[in-house]
Amino acid sequence: MATMSMIQALNSALDVKLTDDPDVLTFGEDIGYFGGVFRVTEGLQKKHGEKRCFDTPISEGGIIAAAIGMGAYGLRPVAEIQFADYILPAFDQLVSEAARLRYRSGGEFWAPITVRAPYGGGIFGGQTHSQSPEALFAHVTGLCTVIPSNPYDAKGLLIAAIESNDPVIFLEPKRIYNGPFDGHHDRQVKTWASHPKSEVPEGHYVVPLGKAATVREGRTVTVLAYGTMVHVAAAAIEEAGIDAELIDLRSIVPLDVETIVQSVTKTGRCVIVHEASRFAGFGGELSALVQERCFFHLKSPILRVTGWDTPYPHAFEWDYFPGPARVAKALKQAMED
């Protein structure tokens, strides 16, 4: 065991797979010699050679197209998109090609690719370095979408993603790369060092895709969250003094609907939290699933705490971000209804 930040854990996952499997290689903008703008690939080119970890042209469509071709050949490419906000030029490749190749070819070709992208807000990155586009991918049949919330999960999920024979969009909440963030932006920044989930095995292990984690057990209300919002929700639960059950979804496709249903059946209340804007966001799907499967157990309306339906703003970051005060307010409302 070692104490790792999320960046170190992700680096370790790539290192393990590059060591394990000669068919794994990784590429993206600035990830080779320099080690990536967030340092996730630092040292990997030096250790594994320039053919295993290399720089690409600034061409997200080209990066993903090349990855799909490599995957069809038989490799397990891991592509980095520098920010999830920049993934859209590759959207056609992901939606029309990676997600559909196995199906349309009758199983003759498939795309075992992993697409990593720093994602989410909280770093004053403005509109083009802060967005949470997970709902765009969750809607596409054939893609898996994974969002870790801590170093241990990040490493185990990334290894699972690389070993998966389906295409995986791996979204890394960049605000928690270096430490957990509970939404109190005015307080001192924490590191991962004192967090139990920063204890990370140095070798190979897997956190399976599609298994949610119950972060906190509780009896009165279920909170569904992923990524940075797991930490925000945990803080809000403590501050509201409510005996809530907090579920970290970890992957939204595949989704661990069983754990969600078990929890809401027990608590009878559900609050869904995500950074992305609300309308047609992934919270809408979660809300529908809970309503369909737990209706007769519900004691109050399902609530969503999300980013507003505006583009991600700059000066108004903390007005936009669904922080602990807004989550706590929703928890209280759920209990009152």
Give catalytic residues, as residue numbers: 129
Beta bridge mates, 54: 27
Choose, by CB under 8 A, the member of 56, 114, 132, 306 that binds another protein: 56
Cα first-last separation, the chain: 45
Pick the piece of the chain touching another protein (CB under 8 A) from 194-202, 214-222, 252-260, 303-311: 252-260
**Parallel, antiparallel, or unpaired for β 244-248 and 270-277?**
unpaired
Pick the piece of the chain touching another protein (CB under 8 A) from 52-60, 126-134, 199-207, 317-325: 52-60
Which CB sits closer to another protein, 76 or 197? 76
Inter-residue contact 52 to 25 (CB < 8 Å): yes
Which CB sits closer to another protein, 7 or 146? 146
Burial class (CB in 10 A: 0-12, 13-18, 19+), 67: buried
Q: Does 93 bind another protein (CB under 8 A)?
A: yes
Which CB sits closer to another protein, 128 or 165? 165
Inter-residue contact 290 to 270 (CB < 8 Å): yes
Which CB sits closer to another protein, 75 or 335? 75
Using alpha carbons only, give the angle 42, 274, 6 rounded to the nearest 5 degrees. 20
Which CB sits closer to another protein, 59 or 194? 59
DSSP type of residue 96: I
Q: What are phi and psi of 132, to 5 degrees?
A: -125, 85
Q: What are phi and psi of 272, to 5 degrees?
A: -110, 130
User: Residue 103 to residues 82, 88, 108, 110: CA-CA distances in angstroms?
Assistant: 29, 23, 9, 8
Q: Does 34 bind another protein (CB under 8 A)?
A: no
* Least distance to another protein, CB of residue 144, Å: 8
HEC sequence for 274-314: EEEECCCCHHHHHHHHHHHHHHHHCCCCCEEEEECCCCCCC
Q: Mask 63-92, x = binds another protein (CB under 8 A)?
A: --xxxxxxxxxxx-x-----------x--x
Pick the piece of the chain touching another protein (CB under 8 A) from 56-64, 150-158, 173-181, 221-229: 56-64
User: Residue 201 to residues 3, 67, 111, 195, 292: CA-CA distances in angstroms?
Assistant: 9, 29, 29, 15, 39
Site for another protein in 267-296 (CB under 8 A): none
Which CB sits closer to another protein, 35 or 142? 142
Pick the piece of the chain touching another protein (CB under 8 A) from 60-68, 187-195, 220-228, 263-271: 60-68
Choose, by CB under 8 A, the member of 88, 123, 206, 257 that binds another protein: 257
Sign of the dihedral through C-alpha 147, 150, 153, 155: positive
Site for another protein in 119-178 (CB under 8 A): 141-142, 144, 164-166
**Helix, strand or coil for residue 178?**
coil
Choose, by CB under 8 A, the member of 253, 286, 327, 330 that binds another protein: 253
Q: Mask 189-228, x = binds another protein (CB under 8 A)?
A: ---------------------x------------------
Number of residues that bind another protein (CB under 8 A): 47
Inter-residue contact 45 to 94 (CB < 8 Å): no
* Least distance to another protein, CB of residue 293, Å: 11
Interface residues with another protein (CB under 8 A)?
25, 51, 56-57, 59, 61-62, 65-75, 77, 89, 92-93, 96-97, 100-110, 141-142, 144, 164-166, 210, 253-255, 257-258
